[in-house]
Amino acid sequence: MKKNGLDGAIVTTPLEVFFFSGFHQDRTNLLITGKEVFAFLPKMFLEHFRETAPYIETAVYENIHHDTVAKIRSLKLRKVVFDPETETYTQGKFWLSQGLKERSGLVQSLRLIKEGEELENVRKACRIAAKTFGLIKPRIKAGVTEREIALEMEYMMQKMGASAKSFELIVAFGPNSALPHHETSARKLKKNEAVLLDFGCVYGRYCSDITRTFFYGKPDAEFLKVYGIVDKAQKAGVKCAKAGLPAVEVDKVCRDYIAERGYGQYFTHGTGHGVGLQIHEEPYLNTRTKSVLKTGMTVTVEPGVYLYGKFGVRIEDTVRITGSGAEVLTR
Q: Do 76 and 22 share a structural domain?
A: yes
pLDDT, tens digit, 9 for 90 and up, residues 57-103: 999 999 999 999 999 999 999 999 999 999 999 999 999 999 999 99
Residue 75 class from Cβ within 10 Å (0-12 exposed, 13-18 middle, 19+ buried)? middle
Contact by Cβ (8 Å): 306, 317? no
Q: Do 200 and 162 share a structural domain?
A: yes
What is the pLDDT confidence band of residue 193, given thresholds at 50, 70 and 90?
Answer: very high
pLDDT, tens digit, 9 for 90 and up, residues 200-211: 999 999 999 999
Q: How confident is the prediction for the chain on average, in pLDDT?
A: 97
Q: Do 277 and 177 share a structural domain?
A: yes
Q: Which of 74, 91, 110 is the last residue of a domain?
A: 110
What is the pLDDT confidence band of residue 52, given thresholds at 50, 70 and 90?
Answer: very high
Which residue blocks in the chain are alpha helix, DSSP H? 14-21, 46-52, 64-74, 89-97, 106-111, 117-136, 146-159, 221-240, 247-260
Task: Show the domain range for 82.
Answer: 8-110
Q: Do 174 and 72 share a structural domain?
A: no
Q: Do 259 and 308 share a structural domain?
A: yes
CATH number, domain of 128, equals 3.90.230.10
Tell me the pTM. Answer: 0.94
Find the mean pLDDT for residues 146-173: 98
- Indicate whether 144 belongs to any domain: yes
How far is Cα 294 from Cα 322, in angstroms, rounded to an integer? 7
Nearest to 239 by CA among 330, 325, 329, 331: 325
Q: How many domains are contained in the chain? A: 2
Q: Do 224 and 79 share a structural domain?
A: no
CATH number, domain of 51, equals 3.40.350.10
- Indicate whether 31 belongs to any domain: yes
Cα 246 to its chain centre, rounded Å, is 19
Side-chain-facing half-sphere of 222: CA atoms under 13 Å: 11
pLDDT, tens digit, 9 for 90 and up, residues 107-142: 999 999 999 999 999 999 999 999 999 999 999 999
Q: Do 52 and 13 share a structural domain?
A: yes
How far is Cα 30 from Cα 61, in angstroms, rounded to an integer? 12
Q: Which of 64, 87, 110 is the last residue of a domain?
A: 110
Contact by Cβ (8 Å): 270, 248? no
Q: Do 99 and 248 share a structural domain?
A: no
Q: Which pLDDT belongs to residue 94?
A: 97
Contact by Cβ (8 Å): 170, 181? yes
Q: Do 47 and 185 share a structural domain?
A: no
Give 184's DSSP letter. Answer: P
pLDDT, tens digit, 9 for 90 and up, residues 208-225: 999 999 999 999 999 999
pLDDT, tens digit, 9 for 90 and up, residues 291-331: 999 999 999 999 999 999 999 999 999 999 999 999 999 99
Q: Which pLDDT belongs to residue 179?
A: 98
Judged by phi (left if over 0) then psi (alpha if -120 to 50, else beta), residue 26 lies in beta
Q: Which of 110, 141, 176 is the last residue of a domain?
A: 110
Using DSSP, state whether 9 is helix, strand or coil: strand
List phi, psi (to 5°) of 290. Answer: -110, 5
- Indicate whether 3 belongs to any domain: no
First to last CA, the chain: 38
Distances (CA, A) of 155 to 164, 182, 252: 9, 21, 37
